[in-house]
Structure 1
Amino acid sequence: MNKINPKRILVMKFRNIGDVLLTTPLIKNLRFNFPDAIIDIAVNKGSKEMVTLNPNINEVIIYDRAKIKKYSPIKRIIEEIKFALSIRKKSYDMVINTTKGDRGAQLALISGAKIKVGYSGEKNILTKNVFTNYLPKQELRHTLEMDLDTLREFNLDIKEKKVEIFWSKEDEEKVDDILKKENIEIKNFIHIHAVSRWMFKCINDITMAKIIDYCEDHLAIKVILTAAPVSHEIERLNNILSLCNSKPIVLSGKLTLKQTVCLNKKAKIFIGVDTSIMHISAANNIPVLAFFGPSGTDHWGPWDNDMMESGYTKRNGFQTMGKHRVIAESRDCQPCGKDGCDGTKISDCLMNLDFEFIKKNINEMVND
């Protein structure tokens, strides 16, 4: 295949927070291969914190999906066109759409880039033949590996597979002040993010309360709890706290996302469900104990930055990758990718996890 040498590259990831974070190995390896190129990334508003301050990125372009959806149909079309033309004006040589979404395909089409990389859109006649280079299906591979397929397509070097995230000095100072006020030493607390924006990813509240109490009362290690500043997450966390006998430190809604990232870096281990904070913990090289139900560990398990190959070889059941551990049942229906069983928003496979097995793993990780 002919060697390419793009001067301006756009990576597009119009997905959620964790998905955006997992693109950073692609960005880093693009920088390795094209050290003098302009490398930008386009993401949905709300996920930009995963890539801001990243030294390998020149510009983070924000698509405000929620704002545009509120407009009238005509106004919405006008705003979509304006956004597309703003991409075209940047004269990219190479555009990479890392998902199957129509928006990325449409922007690639309008971009005018000579090299357009993405996934087949056979269901949409308008975007069916957009790309000059098509990427393979994910199959049973980790999402991080899927993002790196662009490099393989052009026989480019993959020098490392490290997920990276960055924060400011001001964020560091804010977190240090909190820990000092609470008299908590670095690497002497457990960070637990107990809930998800998707409630069907949550374990039983009673089990989570037992985990918190076990860490605080039996292991005598302080627990710091975080949650997003949204009502349904804070309400769920409050219910968990009502079931606890211990008194963990609760920082729900008190930290920005970047400050949560910084706090996490100072923890001994992380315990939580399948959320962006889990991926952030792995990026911070903090040992993760995660609970998986409807989502597949092979696609979304916490990635160990010290490894070059995924350790997740099964779709369900208990698995490890380096320092990280995923607890999941081994039901034939897992992973189903559904929002709970029979539309209930509750996943049965997360309701009766073996607490003795959870304790065993926490013990081993804390004493490792």
Structure 2
Amino acid sequence: MARPVKVLILQFASIGDVVLTSPVVRCLKQQLPNADVHFCTKRDYQPIIAHNPHIAERHYLDGSLVALIRQLRAQQFDYVIDLQNTFVTDLIKTALGTRSYSVEKQSLRQWLYVRWKVNALPDHHIVDRYLATVQPLGIEDDGRGLDYFIPYKDDIETNWLPATHQNDFVAYAIGGRHMTRRLPVLRMIELCLKINYPIVLLGDKDDRKAGEEIVQALGSKQIYNACGHFNLNQSASLLQQARLVFSHDTGLMHIAAAFRKKIYSIWGSTTPQFGFYPYKTAHVRLETSGLGCRPCSSTGTDNCPMKHFNCMNSLPFDFDIKELRTKKKNF
């Protein structure tokens, strides 16, 4: 029997970035003859890849890069696919001494867009750039979008939710890695009033306080604050069951895209032009156009550099939620 072709994928950046690599994982496994696909990421992102059937083995950075490199060397990979292309991944590739392919970075173009508002970025989603990285191996986009695999133990039963939310709800992912990628709480409340439907708020324990403020303003009949109550895969299960998803520019938005949910994506200091908008799913982009200060960052910041935060404070909520038009519920 022929020896497996061992391929290592590197991606340490974020929840969303790891989710966005899933088409590369699938296409490598299904299109590269006799491929064993290994994945290397941070331990925090283990739930995202733990149940992906296309991955043969998983490797985690637990603190010691030297120990990780030693572990990876023992595998004797045939190819390394670097989907992050940073100093750390360069160190790993150099240490392994294996033929590697790295995603094309757009650092200069991103800088021009942020610093001088000159948008020379290609009109491509980041997934397209990920897939272009493996084209030299004969891998083509299969057009099937993102994958996300939820283990049975993390499937949320409807009776785990309040009675008001068991039959139908809208999910709203209120988190975001940086402040300038999240609506202020008062504007979140305004958005929830606009939605006017049972809403499940999703996020981690750091988002729980904001969720409680929304519940206090609008009541538990409309709002269920699930932030911090469920793990990542359980939150994914709730996204899968939601009628619609509202989300800031965050990892849960990409998980929702994996389930082909209709997404209303909310943009502040960052913009969809960086290539991280919902992939291969219906979506509406909510953003404040015409601001000379936007984007102020490609990843978000912890404070508005201009102090006014107009990208979120002035974001219009004049859109029509057609999917709820005949199902409005007043609270």
Into which bin does the TM-score normalised by the smaller protein fall? Answer: 0.7 to 0.9
Q: Which of these residues, 68, 83, 86, is aligned with residue 83 of structure 1? A: 68
Shift of 1:63: 0.9
Paired residue secondary structure (1:103): helix
Q: Which of these residues, 46, 52, 75, is aligned with residue 50 of structure 2? A: 52
Give the partner amino acid of 1:366: L
Distance (Å, rounded) in 1 between the aligned partners of 2:164 and 2:70: 52
* Alignment correspondent of 2:284: 325
Q: Which of these residues, 271, 278, 282, is aligned with residue 302 of structure 1? A: 278
Paired residue secondary structure (2:284): strand
5+ long unaligned stretches in structure 2: 108-119, 327-331
Shift of 1:203: 1.4
Relative distance call for 1:91 and 1:341 in structure 2 (3 A) is same
Bigger relative CO (Cα 8 Å, ≥ 6 apart): 2
Paired residue secondary structure (1:333): coil
Shift of 1:286: 1.1
Relative distance call for 1:250 and 1:34 in structure 2 (3 A) is same
* Alignment correspondent of 1:365: 323
* Alignment correspondent of 1:284: 259
Distance (Å, rounded) in 2 between the aligned partners of 1:119 and 1:53: 25
**Aligned counterparts, 1:1-368, within 5 A:** 7-64=5-62, 68=63, 79-113=64-98, 115-118=99-102, 139-172=122-155, 174-179=156-161, 182=163, 184-186=165-167, 188-216=168-196, 221-230=197-206, 233-244=207-218, 247=221, 248-298=223-273, 299-305=275-281, 323-330=282-289, 331-337=291-297, 338-339=300-301, 340-342=303-305, 347-355=309-317, 357-358=318-319, 360=320, 362=321, 364-367=322-325
Shift of 1:212: 1.7
Distance (Å, rounded) in 2 between the aligned partners of 1:7 and 1:234: 45
Between stretches 194-203 and 278-287, larger displacement belongs to: 194-203
Shift of 1:265: 0.4
Distance (Å, rounded) in 2 between the aligned partners of 1:158 and 1:281: 20
Deviations 1:57-109 (A, max 9, x none): 11221112xxx3xxxxxxxxxx3222111111000000011112111111111
5+ long unaligned stretches in structure 1: 69-78, 124-136, 306-322
Tell me the TM-score normalised to structure 1 length.
0.76
Shift of 1:208: 1.4
Distance (Å, rounded) in 2 between the aligned partners of 1:262 and 1:170: 11
Give the partner amino acid of 2:228: G
Paired residue secondary structure (2:134): helix
Q: How many residues align?
A: 305
Relative distance call for 1:85 and 1:104 in structure 2 (3 A) is same
Shift of 1:177: 3.5
Distance (Å, rounded) in 2 between the aligned partners of 1:21 and 1:201: 19
Paired residue secondary structure (2:257): helix
Distance (Å, rounded) in 2 between the aligned partners of 1:107 and 1:297: 30
Mapped contact 2:42–2:61 kept (Cα < 8 A): yes
Distance (Å, rounded) in 2 between the aligned partners of 1:145 and 1:42: 20
Give the partner amino acid of 2:201: L
Give the partner amino acid of 2:199: V
Distance (Å, rounded) in 2 between the aligned partners of 1:47 and 1:334: 30
Give the partner amino acid of 1:269: L
Distance (Å, rounded) in 1 between the aligned partners of 2:255 and 2:104: 30
Mapped contact 1:273–1:292 kept (Cα < 8 A): yes
Shift of 1:239: 2.9
Mapped contact 2:32–2:137 kept (Cα < 8 A): no
